Amino acid sequence: MQTGAGRVTAKLAAGDALIFVDVQNDFLPGGSLAVPAGNEIIPILNRYIALFHAYGLAIFATRDWHPPDHCSFIEQGGRWPPHCIEASPGAAFPASLEFPCDIHIISKATTREKDAYSGFADTPLNALLRSSGIGRVFIGGLATEYCVLNTVKDALQLGYETFILTDAVRAINSSSDDGLHALEEMEHLGAVPIHFEAISA
């Protein structure tokens, strides 16, 4: 990483991984918990996927994978409409996302009693990253102020050098600046904001 005059570039190297968070139909326009303009990140993510794949770097996709009576749903006293019910079309990745076949899929918040925003929460993600020799992670996805924020926080806490893909995240923005504040918080905690054109291989 080089910094200077507000510009950050990164050169991809062995030990880097791409992690995209919860890019699932229910979080896209038309879905039950749609993130406004969430679909805009799909072509951008496809470029990141192609780049990481071309250089033989690991790619991880997390997915929200709730039982039908999950505690985060309004009917159960939670705050969200039902979304990402395990194995339903809403929980699927959109067909427009171009997956290579060797991607690692990480399901989270899979039990009724517990919600989890971080891709690391009760999942094998950390163990898989460690066993793959990953030291740097590049994180994008949905939604900026919930699952992306919490995944980035855990990655930093676990000691990964963490880049936040500012062109490949979108926020729910229940309050208008939630996404912006989340990005500021990530940066304050040590995540490095970066966009596609600033990454070279």
| Positions marked catalytic | 22, 108, 147
The residue among 115 and 161 lying less far from ligand VGL, judged by its C-beta, is 115
For the segment 145-174, give every residue that binds ligand VGL (CB under 6 A). Answer: 146-147
Map residues 56-75 to x or -, x wherever contact with Zn ion holds by CB under 5 A: --------x-----------
* Residue 142 binds to ligand VGL (criterion: CB under 6 A): yes
Q: Which is nearer to ligand VGL, 109 or 129 (CB)?
A: 109
Residue closest to Zn ion (Cβ): 64
- Which is closer to Zn ion, CB of 64 or CB of 154? 64
| Count of residues interacting with ligand VGL (CB under 6 A) | 8
Q: How far is the CB of 14 from ligand VGL (least distance, A)?
A: 29
d(CA 62, CA 28): 15
For ligand VGL, the binding residues in 18-37 under the rule CB under 6 A are: 22
Give the interface segment with ligand VGL, choosing from 9-17, 41-49, 143-151, 191-199 (CB under 6 A): 143-151
- Binding interface with Zn ion (CB under 5 A): 64
